[in-house]
Amino acid sequence: MEKMRQYRMTAPHAPFELVETEMPQVGDHEALVKVAGCGVCHTDISYWHHGVKTKMELPLTLGHEISGTVVQGPAHLKGRKVIVPAVLPCGECDLCKKGRSNICQHQLMPGNDFHGGFASHIKVPHRYLCPVPDSVLAKYRLEELSVIADAISTPYQVLRKSELEAGDLAIVIGVGGVGVYGALIAKIMGAKVIALDISDEKLASAKKNGVDAVVNTKGLDFRDLKAKVRDLAKELGAPTYGWKIFEFSGTAAGQETAFGLLTFTSTVSIVGFTMDKVEVRLSNLMAFDAKLIGTWGCKPELYPEVVDLIATGKLEIGDFVQTFPMGSINEVFRNTLDHKYSKRSVMVPDFD
């Protein structure tokens, strides 16, 4: 039987090492997926560079944004092209039964709780694998669709959770790999969308794909930024209250900006992750009768809705994905850390 190959993290900052192991035994509730693509997420960078601890002890194969083909498993899935959810809940606990399966306390996360997708194959629980319809595969390569597992599904869930409605103003801070999808999905939901970033290239791409207005915040005084956002909101005919603010950048500056833009009945959603701390006046939430919410991944039950956005052509992803051979993983991680890419990087196995 062919061997399984994986690029494992052995220590923080250290190069990933290629290892070869026997194919794993697949249990009754599991499937073996041949990896087509695995996206590089900010969370992976946090494990590798910023000292965030993984649940499983090192050495560990990272990667939780995975698409592939089921080669072993139940008959109804064998041979199917699937997305592996980044959060795999138990489906039976109180949180799962209350519709909060994304934060199930028995959940398993590839590349955190067990070996992930920077590999030729991955063994996963099969309960929540999301089949990809042929209509989507006719438009995109399977490896490109790996971004559904986090970069697209995570913003989709938080937008739903924020109670965004048509006509609302959505302010999206950080329109890189995850944030740009948040901006585009907000537009699909009927919101007026303003994107904030420090990259002209990312802002231009967001504008090209339908975002209403963009602001480069680099070097901009916050008072000037807030005045600019207010002026744009007026130009767009958006409400002066109830702003839905989404922080995707995963930076302290981004979080401070998000909280600073708070206004009456606003909702601030924290999506990006950082180890840095920020100082805010929480009483502003009280004074503005506002809300501050967090989010963790996306519950697998929502994945078919995300896939449908792509199947119907409402969401185009081609401009925001770039693929690399998995053998270049060390170079890609270094370049991602240095912010050299403007698109989501997807590692494609090249072991043959």
Q: Are residues 86 and 207 in the same domain?
A: no
Distance CA 209, CA 203 (A): 10
Q: Which of 257, 277, 294 is the last residue of a domain?
A: 294
Q: Which of 279, 294, 309 is the last residue of a domain?
A: 294
Confidence at residue 185, expressed as pLDDT on a 0 to 100 scale: 97
Confidence at residue 176, expressed as pLDDT on a 0 to 100 scale: 85
Q: Are residues 158 and 181 in the same domain?
A: yes
Q: Is residue 345 scored above 60 in pLDDT?
A: yes
298 neighbors 304 (Cβ within 8 angstroms): no
Confidence at residue 275, expressed as pLDDT on a 0 to 100 scale: 87
Q: Are residues 262 and 311 in the same domain?
A: no
Domain at 318, CATH number: 3.90.180.10
Q: Are residues 74 and 19 in the same domain?
A: yes
Domain count across the chain: 2
Q: Are residues 58 and 125 in the same domain?
A: yes
Q: Is residue 292 scored above 90 in pLDDT?
A: yes
Residue 52 has, within 13 A of its CA and on its CB side, a CA count of: 16
Confidence at residue 349, expressed as pLDDT on a 0 to 100 scale: 98
Q: Is residue 254 scored above 70 in pLDDT?
A: yes
39 neighbors 150 (Cβ within 8 angstroms): yes
Per residue in 77-108, pLDDT tens? Answer: 999 999 999 999 999 999 999 999 999 999 99
Per residue in 234-245, pLDDT tens? Answer: 999 999 999 999
Q: Are residues 314 and 329 in the same domain?
A: yes
306 neighbors 157 (Cβ within 8 angstroms): no
Confidence at residue 342, expressed as pLDDT on a 0 to 100 scale: 84
Name the CA radius of gyration of the chain, rounded: 20
pLDDT band at 12 (very low <50, low <70, confident <90, very high): very high
Q: Is residue 347 scored above 80 in pLDDT?
A: yes
Confidence at residue 1, expressed as pLDDT on a 0 to 100 scale: 56
Domain at 231, CATH number: 3.40.50.720
% of the chain beyond a pLDDT of 90: 95
Q: Are residues 215 and 134 in the same domain?
A: no
Domain that holds residue 237: 153-294
Q: Are residues 175 and 110 in the same domain?
A: no
Q: Are residues 145 and 157 in the same domain?
A: no
Confidence at residue 352, expressed as pLDDT on a 0 to 100 scale: 74
Average pLDDT score, the chain: 96
Phi, psi at 203, each rounded to 5°:
-65, -40
Q: Are residues 135 and 62 in the same domain?
A: yes
Q: Is residue 212 scored above 80 in pLDDT?
A: yes
Q: Are residues 32 and 97 in the same domain?
A: yes
Other C-beta atoms within 10 Å of 58: how many? 13
Per residue in 156-207, pLDDT tens? Answer: 999 999 999 999 999 999 998 899 999 999 999 999 999 999 999 999 999 9
Token reading at 223? 């008072």
Per residue in 139-152, pLDDT tens? Answer: 999 999 999 999 99
Instruction: Kindly give the interhelix angle for 153-161 and 303-311, rounded to the nearest 10 degrees.
Output: 110
Distance CA 134, CA 212 (A): 32
Q: Is residue 333 scored above 90 in pLDDT?
A: yes
Q: Are residues 143 and 168 in the same domain?
A: no
Confidence at residue 2, expressed as pLDDT on a 0 to 100 scale: 85
66 neighbors 73 (Cβ within 8 angstroms): no
Q: Is residue 331 scored above 60 in pLDDT?
A: yes
Q: Which of 294, 310, 329 is the last residue of a domain?
A: 294
Number of H helices, E strands in the chain: 11, 16
Distance CA 74, CA 127 (A): 10
Confidence at residue 177, expressed as pLDDT on a 0 to 100 scale: 81
